[in-house]
Chain A
């Protein structure tokens, strides 16, 4: 991976291309598709060709595969649709899908998060304020709030290249690799569709806003009272630095606030070997690491680094609008004087309205298994499956490595036993057939592993 920093110097290239040089893990100076890697690919594929029977096996599996892909596509589409913000789907003045502060490569389970928000166990995705100043008057605040879009389409669906294929640097390029290339194009198309859908939602929202400003405001839109109640004391999320209604999710361990948009970004690190001495002990032994020793650790709290990050959320009981409550347009502040302040165009910032239903906020940390604590694993229940597939991948990699290693040994032995006699040729050919035999065995083994993984996935999907 020594190439990375050397590329850091020119500051002028665009953001995306830069970051791809940074994230390129070991692509080498030739880049991810450089000549060195394609040459390597050929060696592996030749191993496949020598085992014709194996290829036939693949052909049989193809039918099943295409069905599997269809199903996968369907699920993916459903997942992406779950990330669309719709103004009609609101809870307490917030929404069920993220605003789009981060790129929309979100992998949390949409159904689970939407469910948690509707049950008010997790703060809804509120539209963030980019700036906030306490000295703004209520009217100024209302004007700003009413101009906010539903979704930050350009950031979330920016058309820039997806990350490089993580398998690009690998010696063993599975058929998966080529399928992924195809899927990339499909994904691009899909993202464009999603962008379109989100745009339509945005237009609907704009329409209802503009039509309601003339006479009656639609009850589907948050009333000004609701907006003020939420944003009058807007608070900065310590991670994205954007302003949200002050009632945020609170970390279970150190009682720090975090907005839901940042919360769903936190995830487990990729599976890794148990000790983090990766850099100084990268020996041959290591690459043949026992795959089952790979571990995946629960996400740490970003604030205090406690293990098993989780949050709690206590809904403000006085605002219960949207799902399971009144229409957001029907919300009125209970405080009469506050209402008057809004009506009589106050020019100075009105005093903070006395908080209704002030509940005792949690004062101490909670264990991860306390009811009400939402953990990262709860919104990404697929982590176990991911760990299993990482182990499989490593197993395959190790198998390929040992096959190559073994064949090299045989070749070397062959050279060592160099002698001018005929016996040498005999040794050579038997060694060669030996290599062939091994490679076939290896190919079979890999296909078995593939199959195993496929079955595991099927089982997982059935469970859903």
Chain B
């Protein structure tokens, strides 16, 4: 079976699971909304101008949502023995990895499309200056984020005391992505596009490096 065919099959599997019980989307949405709410209250938009930190707070919400969502779903897959079954299939593990990334990315994007406008309303921002770039920055940032979290949660889910370790492993590796995504989202919100090109390139290179590297290393993450 060609790797592409395997990818499509794995993607259908993810879609079937999420259609039965949209756990990822539900986690991302609920976590995203709750953190946006808490951040809006914490920065008190009436007293101070929260706009300079808005992009950072948005990304914090999505990072925590991703950590939470994948921690749960991956633990369930591991506990049910599903990962073990998938591991021994005579199919390329990279196809499974990319299917999981694609499904998670789609779910996170859907959640972002709902949470971002509401957050902007809550902190009284109004319309972003460059909506197209905003969507692009969310999409590219989420891709790298999901690529990393899927990989790390796959092997931390296999450890008895591993659940609490996910953020310690993910957050330092996420540092360059956070820098680039926050700057790019900030540029899209304010319309100050002077440095946007540089951050866009950095975000793209992060996505490519991590997708290639982690896809290649995924068999080791699956190992028991």
Q: Are these two chains actual partners, yes or no?
A: no
**Interface, chain A (partner B; CB < 8 A):** none
